[in-house]
Structure 1
Amino acid sequence: MYSIRQEELFSFEDLLLMRPEDKYSQIFEHLNLAPVLHALGKKNNRGRPEELNVPAMIYSLLIAKMEGIEFVSALVRRLRFSEEFRVQCRFTGSNRIPSEASYSRLIHVLEQTGMLEDLQDTLVLSALEEEFVTGMHLALDSSIVEAWDSLFSEAASKRRAARRAKKPSDAPVAQQLQLELTEPESEPVDERPKKPVYPPGRPSAEEKERRRKEREAYEESLGPFEKTIEQMLPYTYDELLAALPRHAARCDKKNAKGRLTSYYGFKANLLVDADCQYILSGLWSSANLNDQRMAVILLKGLLLKFPRLNVKHVLGDKGYDSAAIYQLIHSLGAYPTIPMIHHKEPPKGMNSDYNPVCSQGHTYRYDSFDAKYETLKYTQPSQCKDCPLSGSGCQKVFKIRIQTDLRKHTYPARGSESFTELYKKRTAVERVFAYLKEYFGMKRTRHRGVRARVDFQLSTLAYNLSKFALDKLNQRLRNSQQVA
């Protein structure tokens, strides 16, 4: 465990334990809803006047995440029967309590316009201006969010099929005919070329050319998430975001005990500042997507959203160990801090961390890094001082450019104390996930489609708002202590 950048006078838990009136006034003070109201405003003055308090509806959705209210129906019920809760959400006495349909329309509009993501980016930019966020060390990670979707779950489908097989004649004939008419006549036809399969044997020159064209046509028909990680890099951030699968899916993942466990749901992917634990960017995706594919989108969108960010290191676990990820991080002007998965034995003269080793098996000591030439410097180990081969058989200094292989050679060098200490900061993203699941309603979701994605955005926005309010409160306390 490491200590964060500055000592907190007022902790995150203290903020969450405050009285609701004080807590929400501190948090919503820093939420600027003017762009949202402008985007959601009526385009003309004709028609029925607006009766809904849209800012209060957005406040109530954020408070619902902090209060653990999972359903809109429960939120509307509490607004109707609790005057204190209506005041906390900033509804006035003349405001009409929104219905579930009104909330549903608001959620769809927020998803279509992307306003929640814009509010998130604006808040991070404010934290950058206040110097709460440095952006030097970023941490990547993902977490499974299980979906309790009983309507489309596998178990429910089996139960419905068993009931139909058990009592086929209970339903009226007209109802059975109606069910048959409403069923789709045929499945949608996939017009893309199928993966070519060829018989064994040596083809002729003409056959080779024909097969090459077939393979190229098949690869061109694949979407971004059906291609390899390397082939995803030329796509833009908007193209990848448009093709991102966001439906509930089943995936297999090892749990904390190393056992393979099956999950059904979604995956939350976060890019977090490891020094201050702000969420810089987040993505909601299907659970069966590879973490490396999600890292490509997060890193591509980083500089588009925050061009002034000066990233020095990007930290991730072994799941992000891919040559394409190293290449993308290096193109951002940063250095990856990722443990390596060993697919084969290292070459002679190198250890498992790809550090030089002398003829007697002693590892050279990592000394320094030359940023101009991006070169790692290793010096002779202390065990080799009295070695008889030190004059001729062993080299005193090794210099290795990280460009020779970005995956094998990183800054700081793997196996060094500086790499170990830097990698400890990666636990910041795990703490953020713990806060989101414990206090901001991201432990599970009973929704699907648009609502599930908006739930995720509301959770991350509520977390960042709370973090920004906490930093502002601590800043005022420090200033008052200095004046006193």
Structure 2
Amino acid sequence: MFSIRQERLFSLEEILEMSPKESYPLLLDPLNITPLLRVVSKKAFLGAPTTLNYSAMIYSLFIRVIERIPTIKDLRKRLKNSLEFRFDCGFTMADAVPSESSYTRMIQKIKGSSALEKIQNELVSQAFQEGFIDGDVIAIDATHIEARDRKPEKKKDEEVPVKQTSKKRGRKPKSEREKWLKEQQELEENRPLFEKKIEAQLPLDFKTIEQQIPQDPHWGIKKNSEGKNVFWFGFKGHLLVDCKSQYILKSLLSSGNVNDGKMAIPLLKALHELHPQLKPSYSLLDAGYDYSPIYQQAKAMGSRALIDYNPRNEQLPEDKDKYFCPKCQEGHSYRYDSYDSRYDTLKYTQPKKCKECPLKENNQCQKVFKVKVSSDPRKYTVPARGSGRYFELYKQRTAVERVNAYLKEYFQLNNIRHRGNVAKIDFEFSILTYTLCKLAVDRLNKFKRIAAA
């Protein structure tokens, strides 16, 4: 009797461990560096000729991430000491090894453009056309990134300010209240976008929001697995990932102090505007994103937001359980039955234990409950909280956490070398290199399946 063995698919780790002669062509073949060359190349034909091989310099920056070379200085050392590595990057014998200043000037030019973003969008569209991206279920999450900038010193209070006598607290008199309300409204309108409430982002398009994202390093805070606060100085990387294929559909970098919830709407808007062919049915987010405007934005895209409920000192109603399912008089939770799209209602039926309940004979317990989702989108989701289908979908959110781990372990996301807002270049190179590797792995696996058929 023959034993049928399932063919082992190629993994992301395996392609990174291949020899450069095998891996570099596979990884860099889908890369179209034309947008980058337009940015860094000489614009005029007059003057001294260009002596730098910009194509090879660009490829070497991607290879630096693949080979996990920590700095540009180490990259130059490798180019000097290894002719084979120099040829693999695209340099010829006539090309001199570029100086660190040359790399710095080129990176500064790339920073002022959107070339890396365009290439990433092209690769995502290409992966979708080849059938690697489903886009039905997406997930959003943030990860902390430490900066290399010097951490600001704590300011010492040289003079103790004189304590001013505070006015009587409470509601202001009518004569002062109108003036105070106008002042508060003016203050709110003049604040930067990311200091306003999240709903201020809803009427804006993605480009308008993107231009106002703070990207300077700042102190950030998060809770670890033990529930303790952890501080770091730097940035936050925000990812929107396709759960099935684990492709990064959109990524954004912000200062470390920006609230995670304020970056969800820009990510969703970017997906809707830049990749209209992707129409996610479900958007998965953790409790840090539990804000009503995020539900509204997901609904405007035709997607259902499944977000862990964050109580924020809100008391649960006595007639509901922790998943907001109705409870009978004996305290048993009703069961989620179905969703009616015509009336936007969730249907709950009597629990099994109610079959033997003495109250059933007198019809004292209601048989069916129907709740409108629009009455409170944070509490009532489709499918309903606590249902098996909800947990089955929400488990897929681990895909974005897995991608974050890959980026830090294999793609230098935990090794930001540039200071200030130039750190965005390191972030984008990490994201783009990951996408190249993912596309190469999927193409290899597709070829193996076709060959085995």
Give your verdict on TM over 0.5. yes
For 2:219 and 2:171, the matched residues in 1 are separated by: 41
Equivalent residue, structure 2, for 1:104: 104
Shift of 1:70: 2.1
Residues 412-442 of structure 1, C-alpha deviation per residue, up to 9 Å, x if partnerless?
Answer: 1111111111111111111111111111111
Equivalent residue, structure 2, for 1:310: 279
Distance 1:227 1:41, change over 3 A: same
CA contact (8 A) 1:245 1:286 kept: yes
Equivalent residue, structure 2, for 1:183: none
Say yes or no: does 1:352 pair with 2:350.
no
For 2:130 and 2:10, the matched residues in 1 are separated by: 18
Equivalent residue, structure 1, for 2:369: 398
Say yes or no: does 1:275 pair with 2:273.
no
Equivalent residue, structure 2, for 1:113: 113
Equivalent residue, structure 1, for 2:135: 135
Distance 1:128 1:235, change over 3 A: same
* Structure 2 unpaired stretches of 5+: 1-5, 157-165
Aligned residue for 1:367, secondary structure, equals strand
Correspondence list, 1:427-438, <5 A: 427-438=398-409
Residues 442-480 of structure 1, C-alpha deviation per residue, up to 9 Å, x if partnerless?
Answer: 123242124311000000000010000000111111111
Give the counterpart letter for 2:147 in structure 1.
Answer: A
CA contact (8 A) 2:416 2:427 kept: no
CA RMSD of aligned residues (A): 2.1
Equivalent residue, structure 1, for 2:418: 447
Residues 87-136 of structure 1, C-alpha deviation per residue, up to 9 Å, x if partnerless?
Answer: 12111222232221221121112121110111111100001111111111
CA contact (8 A) 1:138 1:315 kept: yes
For 1:253 and 1:7, the matched residues in 2 are separated by: 42
Distance 1:201 1:354, change over 3 A: closer
CA contact (8 A) 2:217 2:421 kept: no
Which residue of 352, 360, 367 maps to 1:382? 352
CA contact (8 A) 1:440 1:462 kept: yes
Say yes or no: does 1:416 pair with 2:387.
yes
For 2:118 and 2:28, the matched residues in 1 are separated by: 16
Shift of 1:42: 3.4
Give the counterpart letter for 2:377 in structure 1.
Answer: L
For 1:96 and 1:30, the matched residues in 2 are separated by: 27
For 2:106 and 2:40, the matched residues in 1 are separated by: 9
Aligned residue for 1:444, secondary structure, equals coil
Equivalent residue, structure 2, for 1:215: 184
Give the counterpart letter for 1:375 in structure 2.
Answer: T
Distance 1:43 1:199, change over 3 A: farther
Residues 369-427 of structure 1, C-alpha deviation per residue, up to 9 Å, x if partnerless?
Answer: 22343322222211111223225112222222211111110011111111111111111
Give the counterpart letter for 1:22 in structure 2.
Answer: E
CA contact (8 A) 1:8 1:474 kept: no
Equivalent residue, structure 1, for 2:162: none
Give the counterpart letter for 1:85 in structure 2.
Answer: F
Aligned residue for 2:348, secondary structure, equals strand
Shift of 1:7: 8.7
For 1:204 and 1:441, the matched residues in 2 are separated by: 58
Aligned residue for 1:385, secondary structure, equals helix
Equivalent residue, structure 1, for 2:310: 341
Equivalent residue, structure 1, for 2:43: 43
For 2:433 and 2:43, the matched residues in 1 are separated by: 29
Shift of 1:31: 0.7
Say yes or no: does 1:87 pair with 2:58.
no
Equivalent residue, structure 2, for 1:29: 29
Correspondence list, 1:50-199, <5 A: 50-149=50-149, 152-154=150-152
Equivalent residue, structure 1, for 2:396: 425
For 1:449 and 1:233, the matched residues in 2 are separated by: 29
Residues 272-313 of structure 1, C-alpha deviation per residue, up to 9 Å, x if partnerless?
Answer: 111110001111111111000111211121111101111111
Equivalent residue, structure 2, for 1:237: 206
For 1:201 and 1:470, the matched residues in 2 are separated by: 64
For 2:275 and 2:360, the matched residues in 1 are separated by: 51
Which moves more between the two structures, 466-475 or 216-225?
Answer: 216-225
Say yes or no: does 1:257 pair with 2:257.
no
Give the counterpart letter for 2:226 in structure 1.
Answer: K
Distance 1:382 1:89, change over 3 A: same
Residues 303-349 of structure 1, C-alpha deviation per residue, up to 9 Å, x if partnerless?
Answer: 11101111111111111111122222122111111111223222242
Aligned residue for 1:268, secondary structure, equals strand
Distance 1:456 1:380, change over 3 A: same
Residues 153-198 of structure 1, C-alpha deviation per residue, up to 9 Å, x if partnerless?
Answer: 247x99xx9xxxxxxxxxxxxxxxxxxxxxxxxxxxxxxxxxxx97
Aligned residue for 2:112, secondary structure, equals helix
Aligned residue for 1:445, secondary structure, equals coil
For 2:290 and 2:280, the matched residues in 1 are separated by: 19
CA contact (8 A) 2:327 2:334 kept: yes
CA contact (8 A) 1:108 1:450 kept: no
For 1:260 and 1:203, the matched residues in 2 are separated by: 37
Equivalent residue, structure 2, for 1:295: 264
Distance 1:372 1:60, change over 3 A: farther
CA contact (8 A) 1:369 1:411 kept: yes
Equivalent residue, structure 2, for 1:321: 290
Distance 1:480 1:265, change over 3 A: same
For 1:371 and 1:29, the matched residues in 2 are separated by: 46
Aligned residue for 1:50, secondary structure, equals coil
For 1:384 and 1:426, the matched residues in 2 are separated by: 35
Which residue of 300, 308, 314 maps to 1:331? 300
Which moves more between the two structures, 246-255 or 457-466?
Answer: 246-255
CA contact (8 A) 1:369 1:376 kept: yes
Aligned residue for 2:42, secondary structure, equals coil
Percentage identity across paired residues of the two chains: 43
Aligned residue for 2:356, secondary structure, equals coil
